[in-house]
Chain A
């Protein structure tokens, strides 16, 4: 059992501007914990979290893969979230490299096919289109949840960047809800970018049906360790 990162340094005032970890955060932590052995074995060099918010998820990954073994890059469009993520890294002794940016924009040209772990718990709540665009421009807490049409407005903008960034052995973990149309996401990623995927965890939390989808390049899915130990 890997402990949930210590967030005791964050104050109620912080949560007026950044998303407070909730069920959708915890399902992503659980998915990473479930893959802990494989993630350590693959020996990742670079991880990148988009919209790191409180910094909880990358700090958690750091406690799995080791604080000095991986470069933990995080971006957030919200400057307050960048400060909080950075502080959470310090609090949990995982150095998180924060960049105040939209998606992976300033990293794209240098990180082509180089990122081994990509994490994204996107703004997935369906809203009207203008609400999602406005929330991204405001660079505050609304941008952490308002997802526009089908809750996919921001996530859809990131998908081409996943293909640009993901290393041949890389893994991309995405949080989604049923309104995002998970089978359609999986189909599009396979057809457009030859990224295979699997729902590695799903659960109901209140009104939401949450999913964690894990993507990998064609033919590079994890060979499950349980399967290896089964008699052939």
Chain B
């Protein structure tokens, strides 16, 4: 499953593509929502790992505008619940992730991103 938490960790790795290769842009996506267990401790621990602007951009590409542009200073339960939903409950089942730099297409099928490269694209 490609949830936004995972999308936030994937970068293009085509040989020579080393700048502006993150975040990958979604194209032609099909999205499914699935509830998952809310764990505020996990979220608080994970927040420092998140590239916030990449998360906001990706959520908007998927039609979700519930998160603020800037990470708030107060991490109250309402905010954490919204973050939980955006990071962990939106599943991209089908579609393509496109590198903003080299335009390489990484297809998503049955919720699994295909990040494999051909021999000549490997660095």
Measured CB to CB, the residues of A under 8 A from B are 43, 45-46, 67-71, 73, 77, 79, 82-83, 86, 95, 97-102, 105-111, 114, 137, 139
Cβ–Cβ contact B49 & A45, under 8 A: yes
Q: Looking at chain B, what size class is its interface with the partner chain?
A: 20 to 34
Cβ contacts under 8 Å, B110 to chain A: 83
A97 to chain B, nearest CB (A): 5
Docked Cα-Cα span, A121 to B10, in Å, equals 23
Name 29 A/B residue pairs within 8 A (Cβ), A-sorted: A43-B45, A45-B42, A45-B46, A68-B37, A68-B42, A69-B39, A69-B41, A70-B42, A71-B46, A73-B6, A77-B116, A79-B112, A82-B112, A86-B112, A97-B1, A97-B3, A97-B5, A99-B115, A100-B114, A100-B116, A105-B115, A105-B117, A106-B115, A108-B13, A109-B11, A109-B13, A109-B21, A110-B8, A114-B49
Cβ–Cβ contact A71 & B5, under 8 A: yes
Docked Cα-Cα span, A45 to B43, in Å, equals 9
Docked Cα-Cα span, A16 to B1, in Å, equals 24
Q: Is the interface of B mostly helix, strand, loop or mixed?
A: loop
Cβ contacts under 8 Å, B115 to chain A: 99-101, 105-106
Task: Please tell me if B9 contacts chain A, counting CB pairs below 8 Å.
Answer: yes
